[in-house]
Amino acid sequence: MTEPSIFTRILNGEIPAEIIGETDRVFAVRDIAPQAPVHLLVIPKTAEYRDVTELASGDPELLADIVSFARELAAQHTDDGDFRLVFNTGANAGQTVFHVHAHVLAGGLTEKSVGA
């Protein structure tokens, strides 16, 4: 059996982190190493999907839930509701946690701050 992901450990209260919002299927935390003034992570409670491509084919409704929760969070955490949604997919693209998650980035974004 594989080790629980860092996000599963946060969800289970094994690693301290403030859960800033949740639904029955997803939850959100502030990224510990923010790359933008607003940098949140939206994470499915299930660790079943490693990345967004698996999620899109396995449970498109859950992917839609992530997008819709990202929109709600951006409305709460920004003045204008605008945000960038990033799914790093694969180690060579910067993915370090293989429990699918969306980066919600907003505020003072430049082209250089694209790497989440």
Q: Which residues are catalytic?
A: 101
Q: Which stretch binds ligand AMP (CB under 6 A): 18-26, 28-36, 57-65, 77-85?
A: 28-36
Residue 29 or residue 106: which is nearer to ligand AMP going by CB? 29
Among 2, 12, 92, 96, binds ligand AMP (CB under 6 A): 96
Rg (CA), the chain: 13
* Residue 32 vs residues 6, 7, 16, 36: alpha-carbon distances, Å: 12, 12, 11, 11
Comparing CA positions, the residue from 11, 47, 14 lying closest to residue 29 is: 11
Site track for ligand AMP across 44-83, x = CB under 6 A = ----------------------------------------
In terms of phi and psi (left: phi > 0; alpha: psi -120 to 50; beta: otherwise), the region of 103 is beta
**Binding-site size, ligand AMP (CB under 6 A):** 13
